Amino acid sequence: MNLPYAESYKIKVVENLHRSSREEREQWIRQAKYNLFNLKSEQVFIDLLTDSGTGAMSDRQWSEMMTGDESYAGATSYYKMKSAIKNIFGFPYFLPTHQGRAAENVLFSVMVNNGDVVPGNAHFDTTKGHIEYRKASAVDCTIDEAYDTQIEHPFKGNLDLHKLEETLKAYPARRIPFIVVTLTCNSSGGQPVSMENLRGVHALARKYGVRVLFDSARFAENAYFIKIREEGYQDVSIRDIVAEMYQHADLMTMSSKKDAIVNMGGFIGFRDEDLFRQASVYNIMFEGFITYGGMSGRDMNALAQGLYEGTRFEYLDTRVRQVGYLGQRLEELGVPVQKPFGGHAIFVDANQFLPNLPREQFRAQTLAVELYLEAGVRAVEIGTLLADRDPETRENRYPELELLRLTIPRRVYTNNHMNLVAVALKNVYDRRDQITRGLKIVREAPIMRHFTVELERH
Ligand X SMILES: *Cc1c(COP(=O)(O)O)cnc(C)c1O
Catalytically active residues are 72, 124-125, 215, 217, 258, 450
**Binding status of residue 101 toward ligand X by CB under 6 A:** yes
Q: Site for ligand X (CB under 6 A): which residue of 64, 160, 215, 221?
A: 215
Longest dimension (CA), the chain: 63
- State phi, psi for 182 to the nearest 5 degrees: -95, 120
- Shortest Cβ distance from residue 443 to ligand X (Å)? 23
Give the contact letters, 297-336, x = binds to ligand X (CB under 6 A), - = no. Answer: ----------------------------------------
Q: What is the DSSP string of 113-154?
A: -TT-EEEESS--HHHHHHHHHTT-EEEE-B-GGGG-TT---T
In the complex, least distance from residue 232 CB atom to ligand X, rounded to whole angstroms: 26
Map the footprint of ligand X across residues 170-199, applying CB under 6 A: 182, 186
Binding to ligand X by residue 266, rule CB under 6 A? yes
In 234-282, the DSSP E strands lie at 251-255, 266-270
What is the contact mask toward ligand X in residues 48 to 67, using x (rule: CB under 6 A)? ----x---------------
Residue showing the smallest CB distance to ligand X in the complex = 100
The whole-angstrom separation of Cα 125 and Cα 261 is 21
> Is residue 301 within 8 Å of residue 64, measured between CB atoms?
yes
β-partners of residue 454 are: 443
Asked if 18 and 42 touch (Cβ cutoff 8 Å), the reply is: yes
Closest CB 25 distance from ligand X, rounded Å: 27
CB of 53 to ligand X, least distance (A): 7
Residues 6+ apart with CB under 8 A from 266: 96, 97, 98, 99, 100, 101, 102, 103, 253, 254, 255, 256, 257
**To the nearest whole angstrom, how small is the minimum distance from the Cβ of residue 99 to ligand X?**
3
Query: What are residue 382's DSSP bridge partners?
Result: 403
Binding mask 416-455 for ligand X (x = CB under 6 A): ----------------------------------------
Under the rule (CB under 6 A), what is the footprint of ligand X?
52, 99-101, 124, 126-127, 182, 186, 215, 217, 255, 257-258, 266
